[in-house]
Amino acid sequence: MALEKGDFVLIEYTVRVKETGNIIDTTIGELAKREGIYESSRLYGPMLVVINRGWILKSLEEALKEMDVGEEKEIELPPEKAYGPRDPYKVKVFSIREFRRRGINVRVGDVIDFGGATGIVKSITGGRVTVDFNHPLAGKTLVYKVRIVKKLENILEKTKALVSRHLEIPMDEASIEYDGDSKVLIINIPTRIMTKKNIQYAKIALVSDIFELLKDYVRKVLFQEVFERKTSEEYGEERSSTSDTGGKEVTQ
Amino acid sequence: MALEKGDFVLIEYTVRVKETGNIIDTTIGELAKREGIYESSRLYGPMLVVINRGWILKSLEEALKEMDVGEEKEIELPPEKAYGPRDPYKVKVFSIREFRRRGINVRVGDVIDFGGATGIVKSITGGRVTVDFNHPLAGKTLVYKVRIVKKLENILEKTKALVSRHLEIPMDEASIEYDGDSKVLIINIPTRIMTKKNIQYAKIALVSDIFELLKDYVRKVLFQEVFERKTSEEYGEERSSTSDTGGKEVTQ
C-alpha cells in the first residue's frame, strides 16, 4: 500500500461519463476551457486530498491508496461506487399551478429546491411539470483518469495546501509564518480576498482542518490582515501637539 | 467655540418629533426599551462623533461645536435643517397591475424600492396604490436633547471609539495594541464577531477612518483573529516522526 490514512497528496484528475465520453470535471484548467466547462471562480491545478478524509468519493480514495506518487491510473466507477443508481421514484410530477401559486415562473432545465431536495425540471407538458430529484450523475458509470502529483511531507507544505484549499488561492500565494517551538501558525490574508464571499467561514473551516490534521504541530492559529497607508506625502504635515504617541502601549 | 473640526467626542442624544412628542431615536438603551423602539442588534450607549465628519446632521454638528464637555442642550431643528420639507410631488400613484405584473403582493405600510428610490405604500384603493417617496422625517421639526459625555484626547481612546463604531462592539471590548514608535496598530477581532455580516467591509471602513483621522499616528493597521486549540488531552498522543517542527520558519 503506497498511501495511508492522513497522508497529504496533490492529485490531478479528469472525469468523464463512460456512456457519452463527455468530460464533466477536471482539475486541469486548459482542458476545462477546451471542453467548455471552465468556471472562472474555480482554482485549477493539482488538488489536495488527505487520505481517508472523505473529501472525494470513497471508491476513488481506495484506488488512490494503492497508487504510487507520480503514477497515473484510469479508474472506472460503476454507479453503485459513484453517485448511486437512478431511482425512478425520485422523478415527480407537479401541477404547474403549484409553481404559479408561489410566483415561480418555471422552465425546462431549471434547478428547483424543495425544502432541501434539489431537482431538475425535465419537461413541462399539459400543465404538468416533471422534476427529477436524482443526483445528475446517478446511474452513470464514471471514468476517472487520476495522477498523484506529489506527496506532501513538510508541515509548511501541508499548511499551504490547506490554506489553498479553503481560501481558494494558489499554494504559492499562501503566505504563512510558522514557529515550531511555540506551535504558532500565522496566516496572512491577501487583501484581494479579504471581502471574498464567506471568507470568514472559510477561515473557521481552515482552522478546524489544521487543528485536526496537524494537531501535533499547531496549537494556535493567527490570521492577519495588514493595511499600510498608501501615501506618505502628508507625513508630518499636520502634526498635532497631542502627547499620546511614543512607547509601546498595550491595552485589553 | 468649545469644539473644533476633527475633535472626537462621545455624545448621548434623544430625538423626538416636535408635533407628536414621539421619541424616534435615542442612544440610551433603557429609554429605547421603554419607548418600544429598542433594536437588539444595535449598540446603545454614548456615540462617537468626529466634528465636521458629516456623520450626523450638519445643523446638529454646528450646535455641538458651541457646547462644552458635560453640557446638555435641547436643539430644535425645523425641517429645512433636518430632513427637508415634504414634497407633495414625491407622492406617486401606481396601478396595482404594475405590482402584480412583477409578482409583488403589495400592502399598506410596505417599503418599496424603485431603482434606488425608497417609498412607503400609503394607501391602496380602487386598484390605485399611493406611494410616498419623501423621507419619513421630511416636514418634521425634530427636537434633539443632546449631551457631550466626553472628549477623547488619547490615541488609544480614539482608536477604541472608532473600533467600537465600525465593529459594533462596546469600547471596553475593543482590544488593541499600539506602538507609537513604529506607528503600528494591532486590532484583535473577538471570535464572537468574526462571522458578523459585512465584518470584512467594516474592517476596511475602519482602516479608512483610522488612516484619515489619525494619520499622524498610524502608518499600518493589522487585524488579528486568533484561534487556540481547545483540548490539550490529545497532546503527544500521536506524535509522528516527521522532522519539520523546530525553529522559526518564515515563507512568503
Domain contains A98 = yes
From B153, B183, B200, the end of a domain falls on B153
Domain range holding A123?
Answer: 88-132
Given CB atoms, is A250 within the 8 Å cutoff of chain B?
Answer: yes
Per residue in A220-230, is it b (16+ CB within 10 Å) or e — as a string?
bbbbbbbbebe
Shortest CA gap B112–chain A (Å): 18
Q: Give me the residues of chain B with pLDDT under 70, please.
A: 1, 231-252
Instruction: For an interface test with B, give the residue of A216, A222, A230 to mutate (most B CBs within 10 A).
Output: A216
A52 Cβ contact list (under 8 Å, min separation 6): A5, A6, A61
B43 plus B144 within the same structural domain: yes
The predicted pLDDT at position A241 comes to 40
Alpha helices, DSSP H, located in B132-236: 155-167, 199-213
Given CB atoms, is B241 within the 8 Å cutoff of chain A?
Answer: no
The predicted pLDDT at position B231 comes to 64
Across all residues in chain A, what is the average pLDDT?
89
> How far apart (Å, rounded) are the C-alpha atoms in residues A24 and A15?
6
> How far apart (Å, rounded) are the C-alpha atoms in residues B65 and A135?
66
The predicted pLDDT at position A252 comes to 41
Q: At what angle do helices A199-213 and B199-213 cross, to 10 degrees?
A: 110
A149 plus A119 within the same structural domain: no
The predicted pLDDT at position A232 comes to 53
User: Helix and strand tally (H, E) in chain B?
Assistant: 5, 13
Q: How confident is the model over A176-192, as pLDDT tens digits?
A: 999 999 999 999 999 99
B169 plus B128 within the same structural domain: no
Grid cell for residue B229: 486549540
Tally Cβ neighbours within 10 Å of residue B75: 20
A185 plus A141 within the same structural domain: no
Tally Cβ neighbours within 10 Å of residue A63: 19
Q: How confident is the model over B213-228, as pLDDT tens digits?
A: 999 999 999 999 999 9
Per CB-CB distance under 8 Å, the chain A contacts of B177 are: 248-251
Domain contains A146 = yes
Count of A–B CB contacts within 8 Å?
142
Per CB-CB distance under 8 Å, the chain A contacts of B169 are: none
Q: How confident is the model over A209-241, as pLDDT tens digits?
A: 999 999 999 999 999 999 998 765 544 444 444
- We report the CATH number of the domain holding residue B52 as 3.10.50.40
Shortest CA gap A175–chain B (Å): 5
Report the residue from B216, B224, B227 with minimal CB separation from A238: B216
User: Is residue A105 very low, low, confident or very high in pLDDT (cuts 50, 70, 90)?
Assistant: confident
Q: What are phi and psi of B141, to 5 degrees?
A: -90, 125
A40 plus A146 within the same structural domain: yes
The predicted pLDDT at position A238 comes to 44
Per CB-CB distance under 8 Å, the chain A contacts of B154 are: 242, 244
B80 plus B28 within the same structural domain: yes
B51 plus B68 within the same structural domain: yes
Contact between chains at A245 and B180 (C-beta distance less than 8 A): yes
From B102, B122, B153, the end of a domain falls on B153
B187 Cβ contact list (under 8 Å, min separation 6): B159, B163, B174, B175, B176, B206, B221, B222, B223, B224
Beta-bridged to residue A16, according to DSSP, are: A23, A143
Shortest CA distance to A147 belongs to which of A13, A18, A15? A13
The predicted pLDDT at position B1 comes to 54
The predicted pLDDT at position A1 comes to 54
> How far apart (Å, rounded) are the C-alpha atoms in residues A152 and A50?
10
Given CB atoms, is A203 within the 8 Å cutoff of chain B?
Answer: yes
